[in-house]
Copies of this chain bind each other. A is one copy, B any other.
């Protein structure tokens, strides 16, 4: 009898661990392989950083409420975010597309308008790719390439006990934007004549449809000569990413609910849907902010940067991964991030 193990029994990260467990890097230029936001390759002292993402219609995006221009922009930005998460600067991208004949040349032009707008904004070149027909749906594969000064790249596994745990920007908004768009989609499908009023939700919708990558944070690190001790981007929700960073660094942590950066617009949107804003930040995802740790001695350098929040600190692994609520209660941080295989 053939053995059949369901992929869902391993989960996405378990599956990646399983499939890559026997990899031994053989080329001397392969500095860092599977397991971080991006791979690092050495080219005679200069290091390059690589990452790739696959985006599939109706798994990662819904064209009912996603303008193709925004989709092109976002497909680039989410990959650049992985490059910045290595403390590197993106320089080039390659894009492959699969699409059925439901798409016209004008539709693809719109998508590429967004791609080029992102390239322009982040100073990267589109240097290659592939186009293909698909039987159904729109498939996007983006590979991003970046540069980093020798050994300045930052991994997930190198945080130290006592380091401050920080994040950039604000969290939870993209998830609420998605909740809002999903509701409007349902209303639209039931009654196509009702025009949605998106005015009050502009901020949260903007965060899901047109995210930005944290270039300014990496520029700030460079100016202030800060090198984070560990870093990753926040794509699956804060709690899931914190657990990754702790696991890979073999540490625990304490974070404070009141320190999690959530904007007024996000709170208001959450209350409208009777959701807890903190839960949206912890489990929402698609924020594309950075989660990173710094030495305590670097605290003075970033305390005045409004785009950076210190949300907690790293502890020994025995102390677990804990959140202290506004009411003073302590809980374990649990990962409820988006898991593509259980949806």
User: Which B residues touch A22, using CB under 8 A?
Assistant: 116
The yes or no answer to A178 lying at the interface (CB within 8 A) is no
A22-B116, A44-B45, A141-B96 are known contacts. Are A54 and B132 too (CB-CB below 8 A)? yes
Of B4, B56, B127, B135, the residue contacting A30 (CB under 8 A) is: B127
Asked whether, in the complex, the Cβ of A106 is within 8 Å of the Cβ of B2, the reply is yes
User: Which B residues touch A51, using CB under 8 A?
Assistant: 94, 128
Near B by CB (< 8 A), chain A positions 12-53 give 12, 15-16, 18-20, 22-23, 25-27, 29-30, 32-34, 38-39, 41, 43-46, 48, 50-53
User: Which B residues touch A64, using CB under 8 A?
Assistant: none
Asked whether, in the complex, the Cβ of B56 is within 8 Å of the Cβ of A139, the reply is yes
The yes or no answer to A340 lying at the interface (CB within 8 A) is yes
Bound-state CA distance A16–B45 (Å) is: 35
Asked whether, in the complex, the Cβ of B30 is within 8 Å of the Cβ of A125, the reply is yes
Asked whether, in the complex, the Cβ of A7 is within 8 Å of the Cβ of B104, the reply is yes
How many Å from the CB of A151 to the closest CB on chain B?
Answer: 15
The chain B residue sitting closest to A104, CB to CB, is: B4
Near B by CB (< 8 A), chain A positions 122-176 give 123-137, 139, 141, 143, 145, 147
User: Which B residues touch A273, using CB under 8 A?
Assistant: none
The yes or no answer to A98 lying at the interface (CB within 8 A) is yes
Q: How many residues of A contact B (CB 8 A)?
A: 82
Of B2, B44, B103, B104, the residue contacting A46 (CB under 8 A) is: B44
Asked whether, in the complex, the Cβ of B132 is within 8 Å of the Cβ of A59, the reply is yes
User: Which B residues touch A104, using CB under 8 A?
Assistant: 4-7
Asked whether, in the complex, the Cβ of A106 is within 8 Å of the Cβ of B137, the reply is no
Asked whether, in the complex, the Cβ of B106 is within 8 Å of the Cβ of A59, the reply is no
**Copies of this protein in the complex:** 2
User: Which B residues touch A334, using CB under 8 A?
Assistant: none
Kindly name the residue among A8, A108, A125 whose own CB sees the greatest number of chain B CB atoms within 10 A: A125
The yes or no answer to A10 lying at the interface (CB within 8 A) is yes
How many Å from the CB of A126 to the closest CB on chain B?
Answer: 6
User: Which B residues touch A97, using CB under 8 A?
Assistant: 54
The yes or no answer to A325 lying at the interface (CB within 8 A) is no
Asked whether, in the complex, the Cβ of B26 is within 8 Å of the Cβ of A96, the reply is no
User: Which B residues touch A222, using CB under 8 A?
Assistant: none
Q: Identify the A interface with B (CB < 8 A).
A: 2-10, 12, 15-16, 18-20, 22-23, 25-27, 29-30, 32-34, 38-39, 41, 43-46, 48, 50-56, 58-60, 91-92, 94, 96-99, 101, 103-106, 108-109, 112, 116, 123-137, 139, 141, 143, 145, 147, 340-341, 343
A-B contact pairs, 18 of them (CB 8 A): A7-B104, A7-B105, A10-B105, A16-B131, A19-B109, A23-B125, A27-B123, A30-B92, A33-B127, A34-B128, A38-B128, A44-B46, A51-B94, A52-B96, A56-B135, A59-B135, A98-B139, A133-B341
